[in-house]
Copies of this chain bind each other. A is one copy, B any other.
Amino acid sequence: MASNAIDRLAAGLGRLPGIGEKSARRIALDVLTWKTEDVRALAELLVEVKTRVRTCGACFNLSESDPCPICGDERRDGSQVMVVDFVGDLLAMERMQAYRGLYHVLGGRISPLDGIGPEELNILPLVARLNGGGIREVILANGPTVEGDATAQYLKQVLGTHDVTVTQIARGLPVGSDLALADQVTLSRALDGRREL
């Protein structure tokens, strides 16, 4: 009885990450109340951005140019490379507006259960960048999860044979959080990472 077209649109929208069946239906019905030109504009934006955005050949960031604006910016410090799992992590770091080095996007985390080994990630290109010279510090900023830690451990081994300092961003209590509510692993990392004031 329900409109076939609405069901199809809801199914299509349900393929977006984090959009469940009910949300997809709600979004589909809402979109049908939009002006046709607004729906068309969003549709064209999807295709246009997908077509224009490419992967940076150096750091695997996504942008409209290759090299990406970060790799192409001569004012940035090419002696520092921060390794992140995903492009979204890079964008979060950039919003901070404090880091002036370069990046390397792995494209995921080592996760044997999901069939993701080191060879699925952009690790060989990272080694190639190191061999190219000029990099003095590799900052590991893998996600604070079991998979992120496994990836960082693997990278530490691989990069250990190179003449480069390998650091990792701090694990600890997030600013504004409640110590009493922190999980034990976070507390233990915070204690391990204590610094003299």
Contact = CB atoms under 8 A, between A and B. Distances in A.
Interface of A: 1-6, 8-9, 12-13, 15-19, 23, 25-32, 34, 36, 38-53, 61-64, 68-70, 73, 86-88, 91, 94-95
Nearest to A73: B1
A50 B30 contact: no
Given A5-B49, A8-B45, A25-B88, 8 more contacts: A1-B94, A3-B69, A5-B53, A5-B63, A6-B49, A16-B30, A29-B86, A42-B43
Contact of A43 (B5, B46, B91): B46
Contacts of A42: 12-13, 15, 43, 46
What secondary structure prevails in chain A residues at the interface with B? helix
Contacts of A29: 62, 86-88, 91
Contacts of A95: 2
Contact of A30 (B17, B47, B63, B73): B17
A71 to B, nearest CB: 11
Nearest to A41: B12
B34 A50 contact: yes
B18 A46 contact: no
